[in-house]
Homo-oligomer: A and B are copies of this chain.
Amino acid sequence: MKSSLHEFLAPDSIAILGASSDPTKRGYKAMVGLINDGYEGAIYPINPKVDTILGYKAYPSMESLPGPAALVLICTPAKTIPDLLGQCGRNGTKGAIILASGFGEVDEAGAKLGQEVLEAAQKANVRIVGPNTSGVFNLHKKVNLLALDNVKPGDIGIISQSGNMLLALALEAESNGHVGFSTYVGPGNQIDLGFADYLQYLGEDDNTRVATLYVEGFKDGRVFLNVAKEIAKTKPVVVYKSGSTEAGQKAAKSHTGALAGSYVMTVDLLRQVGVTVVSQSDEILPVAEGLSLLQQANGNRVAILADGGGQATIASDRLCEAGLELAELSDATQSALRGILFPQASLVNPVDVAGSTDANPGLLVDCMTVLVEDANVDMVLLVGMFGGYGIRFAEELKAEELRTADAIAKLSGQTDKPLVVYSLYSHVRPEPLVRLRESGVPVYNSIEHAVQVLKALNERGAYIASNQRAELAQPLSPDAGVVATFEQAQRSGRDLFEFEAKSLLRTYGVDVPKELMVRNEAEFLEAVAEFGHTSLAMKVVSKDILHKSDAGGVKLNLSGEADLRRGHAEILAACKLYKADAEIEGILLAPMARKGTEVIIGVSRDPVFGPVLMFGLGGIFVEVLEDVAFRAIPLSRDDAHAMVNQIKARKILDGVRGEPAVSKDALVELLLKVSSIVDAHAEILELDLNPVIAYHDGYAVVDARVIVCQETPL
């Protein structure tokens, strides 16, 4: 079943509350937009002071309409809106677009008014777009409430928290002449409907092939992730998320009052659900366009076909920077190319035709055909002068270029390998390039943009393949003992002790080295007997001492009874000095961990995105270099693998300076296990395994901390 938004985002009738005959007013422009574009449904201007507007009969109120308006555009000031929504409800309107600002984005009083609007809307059974929205269009329905000129209907849907961003994309589309749009929504303050709802709508909309979002902040991050995950299975979702720096976050807040969240985390979570994240604003339209035409690639190996060395070199650099590979061309391919091109052509990827095509551009498609047939090639990038041979070399070549364009388009239709073109002449929009683009082969005027498209095609292919084998971390049934431990902690309003946290982990099968809790002389002697002369670490256990090392509550490398007895006494003395009234639960004894690679696993509950897992290497890698990976819980096995391989310091996991590689498989199992545990226990507010020592044959959790959610009823 389709979402209810279709009723009013593809509306059969539209009322304009605050319609006006004043050409500077939005209530006039919106009507002009509808009329000029030939909107086929009923248009109802609402204005009690006049009889007609632009030749349409004006009504004094929503109640006086001859029938229900599927959608109402409200152009009146903020304070009028709660009352007007009552009228809308009585009319039977399904959705209202509220343009007015002056709500939560301004001050507390505005936020309160926003709450009143929401309550009135709920009472009236009307859904709200906005307030403080730039508006909506649905070009396939000829609904253009923004009165934007020169926008073509097409297959790119836009949801943008900035109206000017839409305008920028529309002007860019106008200038390249290719791209058209389906539906646009400005979510504004999202007091009712938000990004998730609009994305759901675009996902279901047959006229939209790619959903493209400009986001300053999500309000409903977890719901958005769930929707995006479903949509991305079949339709590309492109997101530009602003706020990559603190300055940008502050700027975004002053703009729409949205909660910006951590940029790096948000990007990781979006990618996890198959969203294509673009990081430069001038890449939004090129990437959306590429994905609307080509959808996906089944690998990252690119063949470059070039008629100029400079561009071939630049494209090679950009490809590799983007994590793509230059395909290694097979002998058969090279030999076939040798048969087509001049002897001086370079047949190793990037293929440089070295003048072979100057008088004969048709050879380009012959080469592309050979490249597409190579099993080592996943995508083909044509870079250079194609489209401009007739301009640069000889007028007569124009006809051959047109034939070549048709042949390239035909080849593109016959293969599932993406063909992408960068041409120096695309600024000029010569006929062969227009022909190519109209046949579904994207053409770019920047090598950088073309490569970003290839990258997006590859990421999307990888996501779809990974999604097909998606295997989420296994759900766990909560263990009764663990539940009891949480109950006990919650009753005393404390977090878990380290030994409790570790015991929890052990219960669910996490490798935590054996430790003994020493609370009295008998337990002390048992521990001495148990560990013999093993080298041990000794740590204080007290709910009153959080930073054990600072308190002198940790001693390392102790062995034998005398050592241990002295260490025990010293720790107690130091902790007493540190905090005289600290309640000491006991002392934890554990074998010193073998040397290995320190990693950190942390879980927190993000106010926007819910439970999120973080992975990184220990020490400076997290604290100084901020080299970490995030995923929303629950993780799939592919997510866990991707996290481990995403961090810049992954080379260290692979073994450097003579150290063996650590077992990434063991880390993956641990990540999945932690995901399952947190999923099963809402009592866990935060969890920190720091450090975990990773080895070539496994890992050891050396320290564990669990912050207990004190509000969760059990």
**B-binding residues in A (CB < 8 A):** 23-24, 101-102, 106, 149, 160-165, 167-168, 171-172, 174-175, 214, 216, 242-248, 250-252, 254-256, 280-282, 307-314, 316-317, 319-321, 326, 344, 346, 348, 350, 352, 359, 384-385, 388, 391-394, 424-425, 427-428, 445-449, 619-620, 623-625, 648-649, 651-652, 656-657
Contacts and interface: CB of A to CB of B under 8 A. Distances in A.
Contacts of A625: 648-649
- Among all A-B residue pairs, the 9 with the closest Cβ atoms: A162-B310, A164-B308, A255-B309, A248-B317, A175-B427, A245-B320, A165-B310, A282-B446, A168-B424
A620 B656 contact: yes
A427 B172 contact: yes
B256 A309 contact: yes
Contacts of A651: 624
A557 to B, nearest CB: 15
B248 A320 contact: yes
Given A248-B317, A317-B248, A255 B425 contact: no
Contact of A316 (B149, B168, B245, B392): B245
B248 A346 contact: no
A256 to B, nearest CB: 7
A449 B428 CA distance: 20
Contacts of A447: 281-282
23 contacts: A165-B308, A167-B392, A172-B427, A174-B428, A216-B313, A245-B316, A245-B321, A247-B316, A247-B326, A248-B313, A248-B314, A248-B317, A251-B312, A251-B317, A252-B313, A254-B346, A254-B352, A255-B312, A255-B313, A256-B309, A620-B652, A623-B656, A625-B648
Given A160-B310, A164-B309, A316-B247, A352 B255 contact: yes
B175 A316 contact: no
Contacts of A242: 310, 313-314, 317
A174 B320 CA distance: 30
A394 B22 CA distance: 12
A649 B621 CA distance: 10
A308 B162 contact: yes
A635 to B, nearest CB: 26
Given A149-B391, A167-B385, A243-B317, 10 more contacts: A164-B384, A168-B310, A168-B311, A171-B388, A171-B427, A216-B313, A242-B310, A245-B316, A251-B350, A282-B449
Nearest to A625: B648
A625 B309 CA distance: 31
Given A168-B424, A446-B282, A214 B310 contact: yes
A307 B320 CA distance: 38
B348 A164 contact: no
A623 B651 CA distance: 10
A251 B347 CA distance: 11
Contact of A250 (B174, B244, B316, B656): B316
Contacts of A280: 448
Contacts of A161: 310
Contacts of A446: 281-282
Contact of A314 (B281, B344, B393): B281
A313 B624 contact: no
A40 to B, nearest CB: 26
A623 B657 contact: yes
Contacts of A445: 172
Nearest to A317: B248
A640 B55 CA distance: 75
Given A314-B281, A352-B255, A624 B247 contact: no
B385 A281 contact: no
A619 to B, nearest CB: 8
A448 B285 CA distance: 14
Nearest to A214: B310
A313 B243 contact: yes
A101 B24 CA distance: 65
B312 A348 contact: no
A656 B624 contact: yes
A623 B655 CA distance: 12
Given A311-B164, A385-B164, A425-B171, A448 B282 contact: yes
A282 B649 CA distance: 31
A277 B245 CA distance: 23
A448 B244 CA distance: 14
A244 B308 CA distance: 18
B308 A163 contact: yes
A550 to B, nearest CB: 10
A21 to B, nearest CB: 15
B282 A313 contact: no
Nearest to A242: B313
A243 to B, nearest CB: 7
Contacts of A344: 101-102, 106
A424 B166 CA distance: 10
Nearest to A23: B394
A311 B165 contact: yes
